[in-house]
Amino acid sequence: MYDLIVIGGGPAGTSAAITCARSGGRVLLLERGRFPRHKVCGEFVSAESLELLVSLLDPKHLRLFSDSVRIPRSRVFLDGRRLHTPIDPAAASISRLDLDAALWDSAEHNGVDGRQQTAVQRISGNGPFTVESSIGKFEGRALINASGRWSKLNPGTADASSRKWLGLKGHFSESSPPASVDLYFFDGGYCGVQPVDISDGAERSGRVNACAMVRSDMASTLAEVFVCHPALRERSRGWKPLSDPVSTSPLVFREPQPERDGILMAGDAAGFVDPFVGDGISLALRSGRLAGECLIPFFVGTVSLVEAARYYRATYEQRLTPVFRTSSKIRRMLSLPQGVRIPILRLLEKTPAITRYLVSKTR
Ligand X SMILES: Cc1cc2nc3c(=O)[nH]c(=O)nc-3n(C[C@H](O)[C@H](O)[C@H](O)COP(=O)(O)OP(=O)(O)OC[C@H]3O[C@@H](n4cnc5c(N)ncnc54)[C@H](O)[C@@H]3O)c2cc1C
The residues that touch ligand X, with contacts defined as CB under 6 A, are 7-13, 30-33, 40-44, 119-120, 146-149, 151, 153, 167, 211, 213, 248, 251, 267-269, 275, 278-282, 284
Q: Which is nearer to ligand X, 93 or 355 (CB)?
A: 93
Calpha distance 343→279 (Å, rounded):
27
Q: Tell me 300's DSSP state.
A: T
Q: How far is the CB of 10 from ligand X (least distance, A)?
A: 2
Torsion sign across C-alpha atoms 124, 128, 130, 131: positive
Q: Which is nearer to ligand X, 217 or 307 (CB)?
A: 217
Which helix (H) or strand (E) is 210 found in, with range?
Answer: strand 207-215
Q: Which is nearer to ligand X, 32 or 141 (CB)?
A: 32
Q: Tell how strand 136-145 and strand 263-265 pair up.
A: parallel
Is residue 242 within 8 Å of 134, Cβ to Cβ?
no
- CA-nearest of 161, 218, 150 to 190 is 218
Q: How far is the CB of 342 from ligand X (least distance, A)?
A: 26
Q: 352-361 vs 321-334: helix axis angle to the nearest 10?
A: 130
Length, in residues, of the chain: 363
Q: How far is the CB of 26 from ligand X (least distance, A)?
A: 19
Q: Which is nearer to ligand X, 25 or 114 (CB)?
A: 114
Calpha distance 8→58 (Å, rounded):
19
Q: Which is nearer to ligand X, 170 or 280 (CB)?
A: 280
Q: Which is nearer to ligand X, 325 or 346 (CB)?
A: 325
How many Cβ atoms from other residues are within 10 Å of residue 159's Cβ? 9
The identity of residue 219, as a single letter, is A
Q: How far is the CB of 218 from ligand X (least distance, A)?
A: 14
Q: How far is the CB of 166 from ligand X (least distance, A)?
A: 8
Q: How far is the CB of 303 from ligand X (least distance, A)?
A: 25
